[in-house]
Amino acid sequence: MPNQQRMETLKKLPPLEAVQAWLDGDFGMNEESALCYAIRKDARITLSDDDICEVIFEAMDDGWDATACLERLAAPR
């Protein structure tokens, strides 16, 4: 079970910092939803949690930085 205080801290991150935390693996089990919440604070991002995860995993595989990943998340689909 995720730590509620940690979840609230992650939710408060700016979108770019949330993407960076995800790319760095700076989160615990079941805390992805808090990072998705933080990422969606960028009004351009309307993807589902699953779609956000997919883009993040693609970024990890392809070696994108957080800025490139955030722009990909915000790109129209």
Chain segment 2-53, per-residue pLDDT in tens: 688 999 999 999 999 999 999 999 988 889 999 999 999 999 999 999 999 9
Please state, in angstroms and rounded to a whole number, the distance separating the CA atoms of residues 5 and 54: 26
Whole-number Å distance between alpha carbons of 66 and 7: 20
Residue 51 confidence (pLDDT) = 96
> In the numeric block, which tokens belong to residue 35?
């990072």
Lowest mean pLDDT among 1-5, 61-65, 67-71: 1-5
What local confidence, expressed as pLDDT, does residue 76 receive?
80
How high is the pLDDT of residue 47? 96
